[in-house]
Amino acid sequence: MAVLLLCGVIGSSLFVVTFLIDGLTRPGYHPVRHPVSALALGSRGWVQAANFIVCGLLLAAAAVGILLATDNPLLAAAAGVFGLSLVASGVFPMDPMRGYPPGTPDDTPSTTSRTHQWHDWAGAAVFVSLPITALIATLQSDELLLTVYSGATTAALVALSASFGQAWENDAPRTGLIQRVMIIVGWAWFAVFCATLLP
């Protein structure tokens, strides 16, 4: 069980560190504007694709650890959807758009590929399942600090998700920044939550 829970701590941390470093060192990529998913495009796209898949599998493994530690199948199922949806985000990359990779038109195409649509569905599952996981953790926890932290994270993720959705639709200049804040808030909570369940 401890190894599985550590997968959650490592997977959450590794995912964030990887996309932050990759985004800051990728030619033509603008972290404040472009979403994390765009890093899976271009000649170096394999880095973020692997980040999605490897870390998603680690988080899915953590869901098994959460089940063993809490005996709460609903909580574990939500965490499992979170991890597996992250894997799907790596398997099905988004389409080039909004100036990335370099040379791509700076606008949003009127039509998108089936792969891009699957990526959108996977992304939606990621950003719905994580606040649900945090909400269930809020309701099942008997530790005050963890309850408050999980509840605050749930509220923050819902607000940030709405803000990101609006920014994405309007191609706002800080779309990528909003998404990064949302990911760091959510993934940090998941790592802490798994750590608190360690025996």
φ, ψ of residue 100 to 5 degrees: the values are -140, 135
What pLDDT does 19 receive? 98
Q: Residue 197 gets which letter from DSSP?
A: T
pTM (2 d.p.): 0.96
What pLDDT does 92 receive? 98
Confidence of residue 48 (pLDDT cuts 50, 70, 90): very high
Reported as a single tens digit per residue, the pLDDT across 122-159 is 999 999 999 999 999 999 998 999 999 999 999 999 99
Reported as a single tens digit per residue, the pLDDT across 104-127 is 999 999 999 999 999 999 999 999
If phi > 0 it is left, if psi is from -120 to 50 it is alpha, else beta; for residue 112 that is beta
What pLDDT does 73 receive? 98
